[in-house]
Structure 1
């Protein structure tokens, strides 16, 4: 069964708790019922600051005086997945490996780990 709808301008807002966190979305329609604007706040965006702090903390435990200890990459990946388990699947590459760049104070890459 289908209900006939007359197109008109309007706005719809939805907020739902998704598996990775809160998802908020807003849709604006023109007077002909066409989408004019869509805005979304996704869980990764909400969790971004906490992810960055956790990655920094994990990295600081494995990099001391310029020496990089084993398991750095695993620890950083674990911190990211703790907040956003889907990020690995959403960011797959041909090699299916994350490449981490260690950057010094001047922004120069001093090492790549994969």
Structure 2
């Protein structure tokens, strides 16, 4: 993944994870697998773990500790109302930015005019 993609993803990954949790409750490794299935192949569990810690600290999710057959209990993350509100704000911001970016000339379009 290029550095520009990495930087853009850093700014949007929280919203993407909140959107996944809006679909269903999930464990960290399930979120990572879901992201990979959606084409984010370079996402690591460590990145998602750190993000989940942040959104838990922000109060955007409810966390249930579920017993594990191997090792300590696993954390099941569920989006709460604050998380839904944050997700709605993410989509509003995303739509605003995407519309303005779409209005910018694209390099290939610019080259076609010359």
Interval of TM-score (by shorter of Structure 1 and Structure 2): 0.3 to 0.5
Normalising by structure 2, we get a TM-score of 0.33
Between structures 1 and 2, the one with greater strand share: 1
Q: Which has the larger radius of gyration?
A: 1
Between structures 1 and 2, the one with greater helix share: 2
Higher relative contact order by CA 8 Å / sep ≥ 6: 1 or 2?
Answer: 2
